[in-house]
Structure 1
Amino acid sequence: MPARPRAARLLIAAVTTALTTVLAAPTTAAAQGGDTRAPRLYKGIVTANRLVLRSEPTDGSRALRFAVRGDYVTIYCKKTGQNVLGNRTWYRLTDGAWAWGSARYIATIGTPPRWC
C-alpha cells in the first residue's frame, strides 16, 4: 500500500475521532447535570418617552445612550439601585453597550429577569 493514501486515511480517522469527542462533550456535560447553555436573556419594552441608559444603576452615573418609548430591550439581569419614583430595581441591558435602565420605565415581557 502506498504511504500517501495510508497517511491520508490515518489523518482522516484522527480528525474524525477528535471531532466526535469534541461534539459529544457538551452532551456528556449536560447529562451529568452541567449547564452548557448560554445565560438566559429576558425581554422588555421602554415605557418612557426618552430613557437615559447609564453606566451604573444610579441617575448620577454616566449616560451611555438613550432608548425611547416602544423600543424593545434585552435584559440580562436586575439589581437594586437608586430609587426612581418608588422603584429601586434597575435592569442590566445587553443591547449595544451594556447599560443600566430603571425598571420604573421598562415593562418586562414574559418571565421577570433574574437577580444579578
Structure 2
Amino acid sequence: MRLRSPLTRGLARVLATAAASGALITALAAAPATATTAAAPHGGDGPGRYRGVVTAIGGLWLHDRPGRDSRRIGFAQQGQIVSIYCQYPGGPVNGNRLWYLLGDRTWAWGSARYIRLLGPTPRWC
C-alpha cells in the first residue's frame, strides 16, 4: 500500500497546474503563426489593426519572406486595401527596405514601397 502525504499531493497539483499553464502560454505564443484570417476591427489587436492600399501599377507580388528574392505566394491588385499585421526591415525595393506582413487571406510579405498606409504606422514585428 502506497501512502501519499499532503505535501506530495500538493506538489503533484502544482506540477499539473504549471504544465497546463505552460501549454496555454505556448499556444498563445504561437498564435500569430496559426492565426485565423478574419480581420479584427480597425484599432483592435488582430491583423486588421493597420491597413494600406496597394499603389503598384499592375499590382504587387506578395512573398513568403521580406525580400524580392523569396518565393512569390500571392498577388495584390493595384488599389486593393490590405490588412497589415506588422512591419519589418528586409531586402530593399527601389531604396525602401521596409516590408509589411499582411494578414488578409494568408500571411505574406509586401514591400512598403508599394503600399500606402491608411491610418497609423504598423508596429514592428
- Superposed pair shares fold, TM > 0.5: yes
Q: Which runs of 4+ in 1 moved over 3 A?
A: 37-40
Q: Please, which of 28, 32, 45 is the counterpart of residue 38 of structure 1?
A: 45
Normalised to the residue count of structure 2, the TM-score between the two structures is 0.61
How many percent identity over aligned positions? 50
CA distance in 2, matches of 1:38, 1:77: 11
Letter of the structure 1 residue corresponding to residue 88 of structure 2: K
Larger radius of gyration: 1
CA distance in 2, matches of 1:70, 1:39: 22
Residue number in structure 2 paired with 1:56: 65
Which secondary structure does the structure 2 equivalent of 1:104 belong to? helix
Q: Deviations over 1:35-75 (max 9, x none)?
A: xx734720000001220000000101111110011000000
Alignment of 1:13-92 (within 5 A): 38-39=45-46, 41-48=49-56, 49-92=58-101
Letter of the structure 1 residue corresponding to residue 45 of structure 2: A
Q: Deviations over 1:52-104 (max 9, x none)?
A: 00000010111111001100000000000001001000000001110000000
Letter of the structure 1 residue corresponding to residue 50 of structure 2: Y
Superposed CA RMSD in Å reads 1.3
What runs of 5+ residues in structure 1 fail to find an aligned partner?
A: 1-36
Normalised to the residue count of structure 1, the TM-score between the two structures is 0.66
Give aligned pairs, total: 80
Confirm whether residue 104 of structure 1 aligns to residue 117 of structure 2.
no
What runs of 5+ residues in structure 2 fail to find an aligned partner?
A: 1-43
Which secondary structure does the structure 1 equivalent of 2:61 belong to? strand
CA distance in 1, matches of 2:86, 2:78: 21
